[in-house]
Amino acid sequence: MTPAEMRTAVRYAVFGLGAIGGQIAARLAAAGADVCGVARGATLDAIRSRGIEIRHPGEEPRRQRIEVADNLADLGAADCVILGIKATALGTIIDELASIDSNATVLTAMNGIPWWFFDGFGDSPVACRPPSVDPAGQLAALIPSERVIGAAVHTTGSVLAPGVVSCPAGGALKIGAAGSEGPAVSALPRVSTDLTLAGYEVETSDNIRLSIWYKLWGNLSLNPVSMLTRSPVDAILADPLARKFVMQCMTEADLIGKRINLGIEQPASERLTLTEKLGSFKPSMLQDAEVGRMVELDALLSSVKEIGTLTGVATPAIDALLGLSRVHARAHGLYL
């Protein structure tokens, strides 16, 4: 049976065709999926004329054509909308998200704490949601958790030019339904199959919040520190004092995680050792800063500080990092 015969008939719309969204869209389409996408400006023009170019190290570049538009509504109905955009852009696309079919599922392939993260936390202090995640509650109203498939994306990528993405072959995705019942639960097996056929190592999780928190645990300090120092991860971890500060931030976040039943058994030192094995790479926040894009401070760091406040966990290292990062980012036009 060919991959095209094995896959289920799901139409995907990928919102944001950058480093992550671009590679997901191209790889799904190459595997035979029905894929369209939303892009703007030069990226839209490039993909319309040439398709998405994917470059894997040691391989010839590959181009994949998909249907593309600058507005989600122009692409027609989709069964699954994949959000591959920056968290900073969410507030600007509320009207477009309102056009998503009420029966469609939404997969969040994004950094940080998403708007649906604390649905179902009952009387927990964080059930009200950290203010920076969804300030007016618009996202929760438009896309409730029963329609959401959460994802923790464990792959890297960078945009070399509009419509040109460099990324390693393979890559791992952990995905899971945000709710215990509803459309996302039904759609999860189909989406998992299609992403597997696209070449990802896919693991479905019964606790996708823990998977997202685990990824954030590593990103919340290394991303801002890389922006402040304009240095790749290996250079940061090679400095004993910088490494110690990163571990202090991770220790505070781990205490917060335990308060919200998302405790991580792995020591911070072990996680950083695993990160070192990835070699020299630039986190997404550094990539954004270098080209003048708004940085995801709220999704990656402000939200964690707010959860610490709500749960009574002191966060002096996280507070210091957030304050310095905000000053730096505002001075360079990277944060409002």
- Residues assigned a catalytic role: 215
Q: 19 has which bridge partners?
A: none
Q: Would you state the torsion angle of the CA atoms of residues 164, 168, 170, 175, taken in this order, to the nearest 10 degrees? A: -70
Q: What angle, 0 to 180 degrees and rounded to 10, lies between the N-to-C axes of helices 268-276 and 240-259?
A: 130
Find out whether 297 and 326 touch, Cβ atoms under 8 Å. yes
Question: Which amino acid is it at 100?
Answer: I
Which residues, 6+ apart, have CB-to-CB distance to 308 below 8 Å? Answer: 252, 256, 314, 315, 318
Half-sphere exposure of 213 (CA within 13 A, CB side): 23
Find out whether 243 and 250 touch, Cβ atoms under 8 Å. no
- Rounded distance, CA 261 to CA 298, Å? 22
